[in-house]
Amino acid sequence: MKLTFIRPHDQPLGRVRLLDELESDLGRAEYDDLRMIVAYAKLGPLAKLADALARWRAARKTVRAILGVDQQGTSLEALEFALSNFDEVRIAHSDQFGCTFHPKIYLFFGRTGGKAYIGSNNLTVGGTEVNFEAATIVELDAWADGAHVDEFKEWWREAKSGSTSLTRKFLGDLLAKGLVTTERLLRQARARGRARAGGPGLTFPKVAVKPPRALPKNLFPAVSRRGASRARPLSAAPVAQALVLQVLPHPNGEVFLSTTALRQNPAFFGYPFAGKTTPKKSGNPSYPQRLPDPRVDISVLDSKGAVAVRLADFGLNTIYYTRKHDVRITVPPAVIASTPPMSILVMRQSFATGLDFELEFHPPSSPEYASLLAVCNQVMSSGGGAQARRFGWL
């Protein structure tokens, strides 16, 4: 038996992440059976493992899961993915004595042995990538550690006996009973909980957390320019919480976003926009405008990662210039003056009361720039410029 560990700071700092470990093991020839016993699951890590899981199953290997739905910890999107991509999915739920189905166990089995991850890691972006988690990794040899392999298989059998097979009909029942809901509604409920907590802010030491992987490009099917105005929110779109993109701020205050991103995920921007601009000159065209202006908090960071400019509850003028196929926002002069070309904008949806987005501008000299650039897994048209900008979704 070989024991290694995921330490609490490993994931936030990017040293070891469960998502990378699972992806690596899905590519190993000696394993042919993956079983997961997990309290909470979301679509993010499943989407990032989709290609590896497809190759695994194409090799006639099996993946099975027992997922908990207590405290609405597992999303509708995750269960839909599991139904379509796993060999077996079961649901565990307890309503006795206030107890919760709460294990986090990932088991790989094969002819030569097995491997187990046992710890605090839920099957979520936080649990598999950025949260402070701890886990023990147990590698077993089939001959020397056969008793332990059998014990782990018994864990599965016992958990299975207290679970129910997931079908499309049962998923509908879970949704109707409120045990499962969408990821967007889960985030809204969590934000309302934070707002109720209220009170004065407390200061804690900060850790430079490496961002999670970008969501896969194929999660957002391409939409033609002509189809942009008719685009509807994609079923997968709610999992995208933030747009990360390089920007070229214009002296007039305009910052060009990405029309490709708008076409991929119109719901994120609130598109199609209901309002119209008022032309300054009679006869000039009017363009779609988001009204009312989305309310945002803006932060511009310096080369040390400290906040250099901070604006709270700013009305963000947002226009789609249909003739040029540009989507632009307008920010104050102080932001333009502090944001050099090719800075990275992190535009994160906010569910705080009265806010739509939180905007952070990171200059190329900032400590987080390289890790944020790694998130930008899509390339925009250069538009004749010297360098094409990049963007990605978190």
Residue-wise pLDDT for 25-39, tens only, equals 999 999 999 999 999
Q: How far apart are the C-alpha atoms of 349 and 243, rounded to whole Å?
A: 9
2-193 against 217-393: fold identical = no
CB 305 within 8 A of CB 368: yes
Nearest C-alpha neighbor of 165 from the set 311, 62, 64, 309: 64
What stretch of H or E contains 309? strand 307-315
Whose tokens are 């027992």? That residue is 66
**Using one digit for the tens of pLDDT, what is the confidence trace for 112-128?**
999 999 999 999 999 99
For residue 380, the SS3 value is coil
Nearest C-alpha neighbor of 124 from the set 8, 43, 37, 237: 43
Q: Specify the fold of 217-393.
A: At1g16640 B3 domain (2.40.330)
In the chain, helix, strand, coil percent, each to 5?
30, 25, 45
**Using one digit for the tens of pLDDT, what is the confidence trace for 328-382?**
999 999 999 999 999 999 999 987 778 999 999 999 999 999 999 999 999 987 6
| Polymer length in residues for the chain | 394
Torsion, Cα of 121, 124, 128, 131 (10° steps):
-80
**Using one digit for the tens of pLDDT, what is the confidence trace for 268-311?**
999 999 999 998 888 889 999 999 999 999 999 999 999 999 99
Q: What is the pTM of this model?
A: 0.90
> Per-domain residue ranges for the chain?
2-193, 217-393
CB 6 within 8 A of CB 203: no
Q: For domain 2-193, which CATH number applies: 2.40.50.140, 3.40.50.2300, 3.30.870.10, 3.40.630.30?
A: 3.30.870.10
What pairing do the DSSP bridges indicate for beta strands 135-141 and 113-119? antiparallel
Cα 55 versus chain centre, distance: 22
